Amino acid sequence: MKRSLASLSAVTFLVAISTGNAFAAGDPVKGKQVFAQCQACHRIDASGKSTIGPNLYKLFGRKSGSLADFRFSPAMTKAARPWNDATLDAFLAAPSQNFPGNRMPFGGLKQPADRQNVIAYIRSASQ
C-alpha cells in the first residue's frame, strides 16, 4: 500500500511539473482568506524574516529549503525543487507525500480552487 501511494505521489508530482504554469488563474482575494490558516506559521513580507515557518515572500523561483534564515528539514533542503505553480500546487495538495520527511504539520488543501487561490495570493503579496 505504501509503495502504491509513493508511486501515485511521484506520478502526480511529475505530471504537475510537466504542466509548468498551466493552471487556472486563482483569485488572490479568496486566496488571502484561505491563507489565513497558514498565517500562524508563515508570513509574506519584504523583511525576509521567518517565523515558525519560512517567509514566503518572493517564493517563486526559489528552491525548496534554500531560505538562509530558516532551518529546513533535510528533506526540503535535499529536494532543492524550484517553487513554481506546479510544485506549490502539488505540495499544498499533499505536503507529506510530495516532500516526504518535511516538517510542516499540515494535511494539505484538498480543493484545487483553494490551492490556485492561495498560489495567486502568495504571488500577488510578493509583488
In three-state secondary structure terms, 82 is strand
3-state secondary structure 9-74: HHHHHHHHHHCCCCCCCCCHHHHHHHHCCCCCCCCCCCCCCCCCCCCCCCCCCCECCCCCCCCCCH
The boundaries of the domain holding residue 82 are 2-21+28-125
Task: Express each pLDDT in 41-88 by its tens digit.
Answer: 999 999 889 999 999 999 999 999 999 999 999 999 999 999 999 999
- Between 115 and 3, whose confidence is greater? 115
Give the confidence band of 3 by pLDDT, cuts at 50, 70, 90. low
pLDDT at 2 over 90: no
pLDDT score of 5: 44
CATH number at 96 reads 1.10.760.10
